[in-house]
Amino acid sequence: MSDAVIVKDITKQFHNGTTSSKKKETNINNNSLFTALDNVSFTIKKSSTVVIGGANGSGKSVLMSIIAQLSNPTTGTVSTDGRVGLIFQDTDTQILGETPEEDIAFGLKNTKVPKQKREKIIQDMIQKTGLSHRKGFPARFLSGGEKRRLAVAGILAVECPTIIFDEPYANLDYEGVQQVNALICMLQREQKTVIILTHELEKCLALADHFLILYNGKLVFNGTPHEGLKQPLENWKIRNPLTKYSNSNDLVWL
């Protein structure tokens, strides 16, 4: 099996209290640097599903934007086997069209897909992501789960072999989580490479065949989900999901 993503010795530094504008990044002042990613290396196999776990601020989203080539690492290299589609945590920022149909059409405008083929692709993607009953509906009134499905429909339309979900369960109820996981299973059947960035391991780790953990910008674990669950996850500020609940007194996180 070939590799979908190769991350080699990536370090990403920011000026403390500044934004990531290119101008500021190149003008590095060693006294005020913050290291968001510290010499991170790993490879992801084509058509695999990877969970990248990590607490708030561990570097997941920074890593995502580097893999998708939306931002440059300070040092190190990334290579991918084609375009990388992103499903942002805040799907509202990703939806540009007034309706699902219009939104998917927006993405296709920037591709070489001939105009006469676009309408069929739009309808296929709407059907695939279970949004047929919502295709002319105002996109801003879709539920959180439906918005994520629409974001995936847009990514599928432009044919990205690798898809990264950033905190896909944020704000979703039980059914919303199930809908996202059904989508992930569909992408797996289509041999896509799926990367899930989350701290909510209990919702998705069983879908993964590879597990990485970031802690304070460092890659502290790289292995199978099974091995990962034997690690001291709490030291890395992630809760081990294999916790037994037997009565209502257990239902609190302390």
The residues of the shown chain that bind Mg ion, judged by CB under 5 A, are 60-61
Using CA atoms, how far apart are residues 13 and 10, in angstroms rounded to an integer? 10
The item of ligand ATP, Mg ion, none sharing an interface with residue 54, based on CB under 5 to 8 Å by kind, is ligand ATP
From residue 47, alpha-carbon distances to 41, 78, 93, 184, 191 in Å are 19, 18, 28, 12, 5
Contacts of 235 (CB under 8 A, 6+ apart): 215
**Nearer of residues 13 and 61 to Mg ion, judged by Cβ:** 61
Stretch that binds ligand ATP, among 50-58, 99-107, 116-124, 228-236 (CB under 6 A): 50-58
**Nearer of residues 107 and 168 to ligand ATP, judged by Cβ:** 168
Provide the token pair at 43.
């490879």
**Nearer of residues 193 and 215 to ligand ATP, judged by Cβ:** 215
DSSP 183-247: HHHHHHHTT-EEEEEES-GGGTGGG-SEEEEEETTEEEEEE-HHHHTTS-GGGGT---S-----S
Q: Binding to ligand ATP by residue 62, rule CB under 6 A? A: yes
Show the beta-strand stretches assigned E in 81-179. Answer: 84-87, 162-166
**Nearer of residues 62 and 208 to ligand ATP, judged by Cβ:** 62
Kind plus residue range of the DSSP H or E element containing 39? strand 33-45
Sheet containing 33-45, strands listed edge to edge, beginning at the edge strand earlier in sequence? 33-45, 3-15, 75-80
Output the smallest distance, CB 203 to Mg ion, in A: 16
Output the smallest distance, CB 170 to ligand ATP, in A: 9
**Nearer of residues 126 and 180 to ligand ATP, judged by Cβ:** 180
**Nearer of residues 13 and 49 to ligand ATP, judged by Cβ:** 13
Residue of 47, 58, 99, 179 that binds ligand ATP (CB under 6 A): 58
Using CA atoms, how far apart are residues 46 and 82, in angstroms rounded to an integer? 11
Output the smallest distance, CB 199 to Mg ion, in A: 9
Query: 139 and 62 in contact (C-beta within 8 Å)?
Result: no
Output the smallest distance, CB 52 to Mg ion, in A: 10
Provide the token pair at 121.
């692709």
- Which x/- pattern, by CB under 6 A, does the window 9-48 give for ligand ATP? -----x----xx-------------x-x------------
Output the smallest distance, CB 53 to ligand ATP, in A: 10
Output the smallest distance, CB 61 to Mg ion, in A: 3
Residues in contact with ligand ATP by CB under 6 A are 14, 19-20, 34, 36, 54, 56-62, 167
